[in-house]
A and B are shown apart, each in its own frame.
Chain A
Amino acid sequence: MQYSSSALVDKYLRTRKIPSTACSGCGLGINHKIVIQAISELGLEVADIVWGTSIGCAGRQTFATWKGDGFAGTHGRAYAIARGLRIALPREKKIILTVGDGDAFGIGLMHLIHAARSNADMTVIVNDNLGYQSTGGQFGFTTPQGAKTDSSPYGMFEHNLMSEGMDVMHILVGAGATFLARHVAMDGPRAVESVKKAILNTGFSLVHMPFPCPTNFASRELGSRNQVNIYRWIRDQAAPLGEEKENTVWATGVWHDKSNSRPEFSEHVWNSVDKIRRTGSL
């Protein structure tokens, strides 16, 4: 088992892209490490995984970090690309997508829902920096209610996808996702365990992982780019599922686990094609 970052980097990542060009103090690297740690603990090799990303901080900073095959899709469409790719890939190959909150829950939500509906085998890691940070810091659909951003100078007053019982996780459960978890970047080994479960599900898995953005989000909402402040702010508003407090924004842990409970998309499609080819009907 490899726990040191350098050993994980040597085995799985391209040194040209590590360290990344992310801002000083960015929490994305912690999420990235959690995913690589999970891959390592599962004993997976570089050749076992095709790595896809999207645009924005999360996509740009993780693109081409994986030593194996990797692609970056257009805004919000990585899930559609991955579904097509899923049909063409050998069954045993895993697809991991590291995307952002705007990509998954904003521009790409429809495609995400259809990926969940079809139970396409992919693990979507939504690295949530609480808004659109690579464009300078505008609110997104998981920006906490009331947060001040460049496009919500009076506080974010729209309903978001985590407020008043309309959590995006419930949408994805309804859409048919077979594994869902939420963790903040500080969750460490608990998050690693959830990502491992997500990868082991032969179907649609998503792990929502909010992480600290000191440069834009923290500077507007907390009035400080001090990394410690935003790390504490997120940590203090997170609690394990079932142990939520009054101020809990992020309830962490496994939200939904129906792993391997229904046919996986590409397997289902190819089995159907095979049957039609042999018998002329389904």
Chain B
Amino acid sequence: MKRFLETGNFAITEGAILAGCRFFCGYPITPATELAEAMSFRLPQEGGVYLQAEDECAAMHMCIGASMGGMKAMTATSGPGFILYADPYGWALGCEMPMVVLNSGRVGPVSGITGAPGQGEFYLTRYPTQGGNYEAVTLAPNSAQEAMSMVVEAFYLSERLRMPVTVLADQLITDGFEDISVPENEDEIKEMGFKVWPRKSHTGPDFYPFTDELDVPPVQMGNNAGGLCSDWTPTVEGFDVEEVEAHHQHAYRLIYKVRNHRDLFNHLYDEKFMDDDPDLVVVSYGTPSRVVNTAVDRARAQGLKVGALRLINLWPFPDEHFSRSTKYLAVELNWDGELVREVQRAVPKDSTVNFLGTCGDLPTIPDLLETFEKILKNQPLERKGWILEAW
């Protein structure tokens, strides 16, 4: 292992290279710019290509093109750029083209605060494009080291599921400096639990089966298999048709190749003090989960029966973790409450669900402890200054 004091952007770059990524196309945007910079430095050293596009829409389309030619590809951006992926994201989903998208959240909507962390794209990563009729996959690391792991995991999932996968980070993860270990050989790669899945060769010409099966090689251009892919409703062979039944078959595959393979995601969560039936479960993902962990430790020391559930796999949403009838608190980096809505949907009807949101800055441990106490005493939550939103 080689150790570095480096940013999440550095860790993500090394993770992508370990996963076999040899094509990166991006567009400068805070706080994902340093990732593009790191890729421009590192990829040529590994025999890979870094390109800078005219906009994010072109960047992801160029990644799709490279992926369609058989290369593992990645792009990275922040919220205002992620919205420009709507177009190519849909194409990649429909054409089942594997690639990895990194979104480092800042404070929105629109340009908002550029250099501060936010979590305003929880639902946007579930619905990254129009039209519905698909499932999306989103992984949310909470440290630079885990960002490296999750990028490797995202490449693995994208190849097996034949679809784009989003890694949802935030400004603190991508820009923050942390202790990072990079494996240097096969044994160390295994030791870190990295699964590297090679691109499978498409021998075509068929586009896909109308099933939920995994490990179907993506259509490839340039290998003379006669492969076809388009933005229209495809037949098994890839021809374009305007038929409802054919589109239902297509949509079935896009939905159920993810829904029927929950085993791929089951390990992607983290929990603390969840074994002794906690009176309050604090749910979070990404950077806020680190503050939550500390606050939950303190609460336990004070005798409060609080547990922490950290989601790493956000989509498909892990409903299985929400079977307890108890009190829940969603802690997020936004003031509108996004994750909390999904928690409300997933929990048993007799549970209560509260929300605590900050944006641009992390919640403080005293604020969290005060909130835990209020919830456990059935007291109402309220906004605090212009910093914290709670209900």
Residues of A within 8 Å of B61, CB to CB, are 73-74, 77, 80-81, 84, 111
Interface pair A269/B51, CB less than 8 Å apart: yes
Interface pair B65/A63, CB less than 8 Å apart: no
Whole-angstrom CA separation of A80 from B68 in the bound complex: 12
Residues of A within 8 Å of B53, CB to CB, are 80, 114
> What's the dominant secondary structure at chain A's contact region?
helix
- Interface flag for B54 (CB, 8 Å): yes
Interface pair B58/A77, CB less than 8 Å apart: yes
- Interface flag for B47 (CB, 8 Å): yes
Interface pair B68/A63, CB less than 8 Å apart: no
Interface pair B45/A81, CB less than 8 Å apart: no
Residues of B within 8 Å of A90, CB to CB, are 222
With an 8 Å Cβ cutoff, the count of chain A residues facing the other chain is 43
Q: How does the 8 Å CB contact mask read for B230-242 relative to A, with 1 for contact and 0 for none?
A: 1110000011100
Centre residue among A80, A269, A277 by max chain B CB count within 10 A: A80
Whole-angstrom CA separation of A208 from B43 in the bound complex: 37
Option from B43, B62, B67 in Cβ contact (under 8 Å) with A80: B62
Residues of A within 8 Å of B229, CB to CB, are 71-72
- Interface flag for A87 (CB, 8 Å): yes
- Interface flag for A168 (CB, 8 Å): no
Q: A63-B230, A110-B55, A273-B44 are in contact. Are A86 and B65 (CB under 8 A)?
A: yes
Q: How does the 8 Å CB contact mask read for B141-168 relative to A, with 1 for contact and 0 for none?
A: 0000000000000000000000000000
Residues of B within 8 Å of A75, CB to CB, are 87
Interface pair A64/B58, CB less than 8 Å apart: no
- Interface flag for B140 (CB, 8 Å): no
- Interface flag for A213 (CB, 8 Å): no
Q: A72-B230, A83-B62 are in contact. Are A88 and B238 (CB under 8 A)?
A: no
Q: Smallest CB-CB separation from B45: which chain A residue?
A: A277
Interface pair B62/A64, CB less than 8 Å apart: no
Looking at the assembled complex, report how far the CB atom of A139 sits from the nearest CB atom of chain B, in whole angstroms.
Answer: 24
Looking at the assembled complex, report how far the CB atom of B10 sits from the nearest CB atom of chain A, in whole angstroms.
Answer: 19
- Interface flag for B225 (CB, 8 Å): yes
- Interface flag for B281 (CB, 8 Å): no
Whole-angstrom CA separation of A110 from B62 in the bound complex: 14
Interface pair B222/A111, CB less than 8 Å apart: no
Looking at the assembled complex, report how far the CB atom of B383 sits from the nearest CB atom of chain A, in whole angstroms.
Answer: 42
Q: Which 8 pairs of residues, A with B, have the shortest CB-CB distance?
A: A88-B69, A84-B65, A84-B62, A72-B230, A85-B65, A80-B61, A276-B44, A80-B58
14 A/B residue pairs, CB under 8 Å, sorted by A: A16-B239, A63-B228, A72-B229, A80-B62, A81-B61, A81-B64, A84-B51, A84-B62, A87-B65, A88-B222, A111-B54, A269-B49, A273-B44, A276-B44
